Structure 1
């Protein structure tokens, strides 16, 4: 499971509805004025009761100060989302650029605040002399096509091909996370080594209107589109339809065996940073890790963890619960569907070549999951294993404990990991 692509989420409280304030940007500006001046009590006084409980002044101060000096503010933009105005303000801190998202309710109170890494500059097209080219590629689907990009090696082909399947949450085709684009790096790295790669915008990113009913499953969110993408990819005349592989990252890695089983022509699967346990098992661990990075978990932080435990229990329970009362604000139908998946059993039943990839600094899918995968598949001769001690969850090298702040810095997927994938794909004939 990949955490939401955020630098940190101070809170995303349940949004209320009603008549909106006339000038939400002024409210957001006032909040940022308080934060920049260190007036945390005044900032807290602007919060809804839910926000004030979740993020008291002391915690707010620690989170804000962790970013370093605020050097510049950009132009604010606002939009209406579910009856609330969301104001976005670019901020340049000493530690990097972030986007402040401030939710303002009908009573001019702050109902939510998120600081997320600013997206990196738009990727440049492949160089004129590159060993590959890129072309637009539409993934057809009954619910609506998804836009994508096909990276093709130079030459006639047909080429072996890899489909990239995203981690959790709304994701673009490059799987942009803070300052990094893992899927862009992998697609171009493999294409330069003779392997075609299809990446596409996830449905929750490209077509959020498809989820307005408020009920959906993991197959609606990920599996069905991945199967449709595999079908379309294999039909391309420059692709070797007998050598098409699934590469899933994080949640996508957990689902890769399920996807490959539903598209029997798949030659094999690559599971990168794949959870071996359920996502609801990992969420408390991920949050406890992040909250303990400063050496201590405060009473307020423990209260947050206790609330998360209660939300998880509700997600697993039989009584209907609103999405706003569940982890990440995701509906119960999704949690029920993904909790029912046994990724290790799916991989054991697949009987196709698998490549397992794991970063030693991955706090989101830790070594405990890697060991569970080993226990489940170590006797299978069709499984190969690769570990990278210096890599984090998104394949970027670093040192020391990994954190969400690390994702805000621009980085690239380690070239060794990409080369290992290329060698493995070429060996599957």
Structure 2
């Protein structure tokens, strides 16, 4: 902070932190007003509360609509389900007045990008909040029960799940598209994409696509992808749409 103050003057004020909850990353951005500059200090945390970095960013660099967006596309807020665990949802329609909903991770909204991009091609889509996101306290209260009934079967569970996914996909008659960013360190080419390729590549209704420079949320970049990359605003690559 001493280096920052020498460059931009003393700290004059701060604003309330902006907290963004992502899939596995919680980002806290604190706006700072110095004598000669205004920017934010960004603190990304893991789901367990561990601090994994610290950097400064300009203010006002929030999510921006991708260049391929249909300006007349609409997003209409809905509610899915009834009773205790209903969740918020968004229906994205082509050529209607625009609304708002996202799938935020850091400064990015990949599901929103995809929905807007698809609307530009005349394709309606609907996306919704996960129940665990809408009702986090209810799911935290189940943690002890999950531990108690855990069978600790290791990779056997995932082997069964993979087999079910492959069997279901192999039986589909509709078009199937599998996309993979080569810089994705969470779902990797070696551990995931190659399994899908081996299982379904021979089907006439299947298309598989690799994108060399894209990460987990299909935003382009260079070098090794890390969680800190999600704090930089970007859009889903137009080739994916």
TM-score by length of 1: 0.39
Q: Is the 8 A contact 1:143 1:210 kept in 2?
A: no
Superposed CA offset, 1:20-68 (max 9, x none): xxxxxxxxxxxxxxxx469xxxxxxxxxxxxxxxxxxxxxxxxxxxxxx
- Which residues of 2 match residues 47-196 of structure 1 at below 5 A? 74-75=14-15, 90=30, 97-99=41-43, 113-114=50-51, 121=62, 130-154=71-95, 174-196=102-124
- Which residues of 2 match residues 29-428 of structure 1 at below 5 A? 36=1, 74-75=14-15, 90=30, 97-99=41-43, 113-114=50-51, 121=62, 130-154=71-95, 174-215=102-143, 317=152, 339=158, 341-350=160-169, 351-352=171-172, 353=174, 354-368=176-190, 369-418=192-241
Q: Is the 8 A contact 2:63 2:233 kept in 1?
A: no
TM-score by length of 2: 0.66
Gap regions ≥5 residues in structure 1: 1-35, 39-68, 78-87, 102-110, 156-172, 219-314, 319-334, 419-429
Are residues 112 and 367 of structure 1, via their aligned partners in 2, closer, same or farther at CA, if it must alter by over 3 Å? closer
Secondary structure at the counterpart of residue 416 of structure 1 = coil
Partner Cα distance (1:338, 1:120) in 2: 42
Partner Cα distance (2:156, 2:61) in 1: 34
Partner Cα distance (2:16, 2:39) in 1: 20
Secondary structure at the counterpart of residue 77 of structure 2 = strand
**Number of residue-to-residue matches in the alignment:** 199
Partner Cα distance (2:109, 2:121) in 1: 19
Are residues 194 and 100 of structure 1, via their aligned partners in 2, closer, same or farther at CA, if it must alter by over 3 Å? closer
Partner Cα distance (1:346, 1:74) in 2: 49
Partner Cα distance (1:114, 1:140) in 2: 36
Secondary structure at the counterpart of residue 349 of structure 1 = helix
Structure with bigger gyration radius = 1
Gap regions ≥5 residues in structure 2: 18-27, 33-37
Secondary structure at the counterpart of residue 211 of structure 1 = helix
- Pairwise CA RMSD of aligned residues? 4.1
Secondary structure at the counterpart of residue 190 of structure 1 = helix
Partner Cα distance (1:317, 1:408) in 2: 35
Partner Cα distance (2:217, 2:29) in 1: 26
Superposed CA offset, 1:76-118 (max 9, x none): 67xxxxxxxxxx67166x99741467xxxxxxxxx95536799
Q: Is the 8 A contact 1:91 1:99 kept in 2?
A: no
Are residues 205 and 371 of structure 1, via their aligned partners in 2, closer, same or farther at CA, if it must alter by over 3 Å? same
Secondary structure at the counterpart of residue 107 of structure 2 = coil
Which structure features the higher share of helix residues? Answer: 1
